[in-house]
Chains A and B, each alone.
Chain A
């Protein structure tokens, strides 16, 4: 965690702030600086032939935000949306991405000394998505590397979509 770029003031003070959320029985966390807002589940427009974990796009105040289903991303069983299902809208660099989670818990202050390197194996998810594991009392919080979550081998093509390619003119 300590070597991560963009560490903020809290980090230097020995504490990191994370937004924690749940997928199944596990608790995950992302750096609060990367979270723009948390919204209720809205209608997601399916994008055909997109990578499998790409749930679709939503309209967030006129902006199109791509939505990733974290359960699919991590190879977990899909479940139907519940009242507590949320979309965590994150901003990674200039990219905005929404991730669907089972529920959002709270904002946690994690002392850095409580964060450990990712263990070899956690409940089936690839370690490449994990920055570390934080311990808080009895809780284990899996800290996600969002950059890896949105870019992976499954989606190597990061070409900017060319709107110019729109509609060949018929003359």
Chain B
């Protein structure tokens, strides 16, 4: 295929996405395979899935002319083929070589896409892989048992011997013996049956098949393997979704208008204001009303569906962690089991993209600092393998992600000592446990004695906390000394949609984000006092300054002489009462930024379009209150301790 005939960049972009998914899948399958090493038999499902993934990578990379990727994928595919046919026993060495191959494949894919040179290590790895496979390929001929071929193979293997390290030869001989015995045993159990080559969807296997009939040793069922639960997906630009959502909004508005017209007509007929001598009008009006109702239901459903399209399962992020934990644990000589649950919990795509990094830091920390080395764990009466659990679930409008380990817990004395050494606290500071734990979020803080490549560079926890806060999330740590640590992350499901309290001020509707609202109250005018000329109320013994939104925004309007309607908002521990005309209920709103032509307006963070098409401005509680304080509009009563 000539490059000029198709848009190569588009294909490369597809290839990148596809390869990313497949490499992830390969990782997952390899992890499963690793668990089977002790059982010393492979699961044909897993190996087949590996084979298919590698085969697809090979095919697409070949089409784009990425020969390095294609070559390596081909070799790994061969190895899987041997594994599938039981020509190679499942061993730790085998899984390791597959893992290394998968990593190299990732590098090669990246290099091919970026057009940079091949990463280092390819020739070395190829040699290693070839050697590994060569040993076992001979075995295949041996099992054939036919004298001529066997002899020939032996001859080859003897010539190989000189290049193969002694222990490998021993391993080889042991394997031959084992496989021969196994083959013999199986032959006695089951009479030889014709074995058809395993048919793998979607394409036939082009892999070399040195021995067609391995006489019943092939454990793999010849039936077509189940297609793994691969969802059919397409990738859509998020801007296109937003356009769609805007258009649906327009549809909703027109639907409301049609309903209004139908209602008006019905009322006119009821009031006999319409000339009902025309017998057609009544049924037509009825039909219009029915139609409007149906339209309403459909548009609502469309709107909800589009909202949901933005939501993706958090499993997209979780999927890469088993491998990470395995690698870190191996590097640190620890045994760790990662238990993942709630991977299908949905949240907004933009948040999913952002939450991976902080979670990765947390998991590394758990393995590196949390989980003890196996010997120490045994001494403490714990299982050798540490347990890290990663759990996600919905709670109201939030998603909770918990990362917990059953390791050491945070050593508060160590934290204190470190804090002293780094000058973060002084000897006189009496800090409680909570405050000590807070110290680990200080930039540059680390309790690690030595700087490892895993963690301990002191860029961990403060970055994690910062990232979570940026996503409007809350980050919490709970630790039991010697018993483990639990990190809890609470995040909003989406940044684009918030829960808000709608209020009316001087005939305009404003939305106050509900996460800032503590309560709303009606207060009689005599209960409103003044401090230095500014209005305050007393709420459960606390003096709360009032801020009249109409005054702040210079909206004018009449003041109610008898009462005030107050929305109490909380802001970093202090409370302010926003005075509005009336409460209009809670609603989920979609945040839209105001055009930059309007400029930055203190107290306003954006706007939203309500169901009837009208616009409501969203109040930015933080900037509203701080602006009001700095301009002296609000009493500083609670500061001066009145």
Task: List residues of A whose CB falls within 8 A of some B CB.
Answer: 43, 45-51, 54, 57-59, 61-66, 68, 95-97, 150-151, 155, 157-171
Contact = CB atoms under 8 A, between A and B. Distances in A.
Interface stretch (B169-177, B192-200, B598-606, B634-642): B598-606
A30 B443 CA distance: 55
Contacts of B597: 54, 66, 68, 95, 97, 150-151, 155, 158
B588 to A, nearest CB: 14
A167 B624 CA distance: 10
B594 A167 contact: no
A57 B472 contact: no
B409 interface: no
Interface of B: 245-250, 253, 469-470, 472, 474, 498, 508, 513, 515-516, 518, 552-555, 569-572, 591-607, 609, 613-618, 620-623
Contact of B618 (A58, A66, A157, A166): A166
Nearest to B490: A171
B601 A49 contact: yes
Given A47-B601, A157-B600, A162-B600, 15 more contacts: A46-B508, A48-B553, A48-B604, A51-B599, A54-B597, A57-B615, A59-B609, A62-B248, A64-B615, A66-B598, A95-B597, A150-B597, A159-B600, A161-B598, A165-B623
A54 B598 CA distance: 7
A48 to B, nearest CB: 3
A168 to B, nearest CB: 4
By DSSP majority rule, is chain A's interface helix, strand, loop, or mixed? loop
Contacts of A150: 597
B593 A161 contact: yes
Contacts, number: 147
Given A64-B592, A64-B594, A167-B515, A58 B615 contact: yes
Contact of B596 (A63, A161, A171): A161
Contact of A95 (B572, B595, B617): B595
Query: Which of B245, B248, B516, B600 lies at the interface centre, i.e. has the most chain A CB atoms within 10 A of its CB?
Result: B600
A57 B607 CA distance: 9
Contacts of A50: 598-599, 601
The majority secondary structure among interface residues of chain B is: mixed
Contacts of B516: 167-170
A167 B621 contact: yes
Given A66-B595, A160-B596, A169-B472, A48 B609 contact: no
Contact of A49 (B515, B554, B606): B554
Contact of B250 (A62, A157, A171): A62
A151 B253 CA distance: 32
Contacts of B472: 167, 169
B607 A167 contact: no
Contacts of B518: 170
Contacts of A62: 245-250, 609
Nearest to A95: B597
Nearest to B595: A66
A105 B623 CA distance: 44
B620 A167 contact: yes
A155 B555 CA distance: 21
Contacts of B594: 47, 57, 64, 66, 161
Contacts of B572: 168, 170
B250 A64 contact: no
Contacts of B248: 62
Contacts of A158: 596-597, 599
B474 A169 contact: yes
A164 B471 CA distance: 9
A57 B602 contact: no
B515 A170 contact: yes
> Which has the most chain B C-beta neighbours within 10 Å: A47, A158, A168?
A168
B622 A159 contact: no
15 contacts: A43-B614, A47-B601, A47-B604, A49-B601, A49-B602, A50-B601, A57-B615, A64-B593, A64-B609, A155-B597, A163-B593, A167-B621, A168-B516, A168-B621, A170-B518
Nearest to A42: B613
Contacts of B247: 61-62
A141 B469 CA distance: 55
A80 B194 CA distance: 93
Contact of A63 (B246, B469, B554, B571): B246
B300 to A, nearest CB: 15
6 tightest Cβ-Cβ pairs between the two chains A and B = A62-B246, A48-B553, A167-B513, A168-B622, A166-B605, A62-B249
A120 to B, nearest CB: 29
A76 to B, nearest CB: 20
Nearest to B623: A165
Question: Which of B253, B598, B604, B606 has most A Cβ within 10 Å?
Answer: B598
A157 B596 CA distance: 9
Contacts of B617: 45, 47-48
A61 B246 contact: yes
Contacts of B593: 64, 160-163
A5 to B, nearest CB: 20
Nearest to B472: A169
A47 B607 CA distance: 10
Contacts of B605: 161-163, 165-167
Nearest to B573: A170
A44 to B, nearest CB: 9
A161 B606 contact: yes
A58 B245 CA distance: 17
